Amino acid sequence: MELVLIALLGGTLALDATSVGQFMLSRPLVAGAITGWVVGDPVLGLTIGTLLELYLLVSFPSGGARFPEGTTATVVAVATASASTGPGVLPIAVAIGLLWGQFGGFSTTALRKANGFIVPEPTDAQVGAARVATAHLSAMGLDFLRGALISGLGVAVGRVAIGRVASAWPLDRADSFALVLAGAAVSVGILLHDLGGLRKRSTLFAAGLTLGIVGA
């Protein structure tokens, strides 16, 4: 039953990415907290969501580019980690989530191609509002199914995988967390470099941080 709920959550959050609203619920930080609440461990969800948010900041979902799907990565990572214990659970779950996020990216590309067959030709004068609405709702339904299937399958595979390898993890809990945090720091460093470096953009960075705090 829990796997079904997680799959439905994955489908719902997938809609927020592009199809409906874009209320930022699909961002790893938020998706992680929600998934953690569903599986009964909101602290774990928020921790993994924060880490994956840092990892995926370098991915800019613009245009038709393919990128790792952060929603799928987060749902799978949190739900996978919640089913096991041990010092290796966090890094292994994050790795599984990032890997499965790539599959989510491929599924998004496939969905875009499928939508091309659903959307009516804009030059067809006989296409009415009902036909356009049907195409739009069909595309939303496909996006929900995609998110649900990818998330559910990812959690099922992830839980089996982590159950087999977590016991052989060589690092303790502190070193494991430091390892994951180091990877996140590298991702943030790449982002700052792409933006021109923190030193060159320090004024803009400080202004953005201030506005973000005030806005919050």
Closest CA to 6 of 70, 82, 100: 82
Q: What is the pLDDT of residues 13-41, one digit of tens each?
A: 999 887 787 788 888 999 999 999 999 99
Backbone angles phi, psi at 144, to 5 degrees: -65, -45
Residue-wise pLDDT tens for the chain (216 aa)?
788 999 999 999 999 887 787 788 888 999 999 999 999 999 999 999 999 998 887 766 665 566 778 899 999 999 999 998 888 999 999 999 999 998 888 888 888 888 777 777 666 667 667 777 777 788 888 899 999 999 999 999 999 999 888 888 888 888 888 888 888 777 777 666 666 655 666 666 666 656 655 654
For the chain, domain boundaries: 2-215
Q: What is this structure's pTM?
A: 0.81
Q: Where are the alpha helices (DSSP H) in the chain?
A: 2-17, 28-39, 42-55, 70-81, 89-118, 129-165, 173-194, 202-215
CA dihedral 92, 98, 100, 141 (to 10 degrees): 130
SS3 155: helix
> How many other CB atoms sit within 10 Å of the CB of residue 55?
23
pLDDT at 216: 47
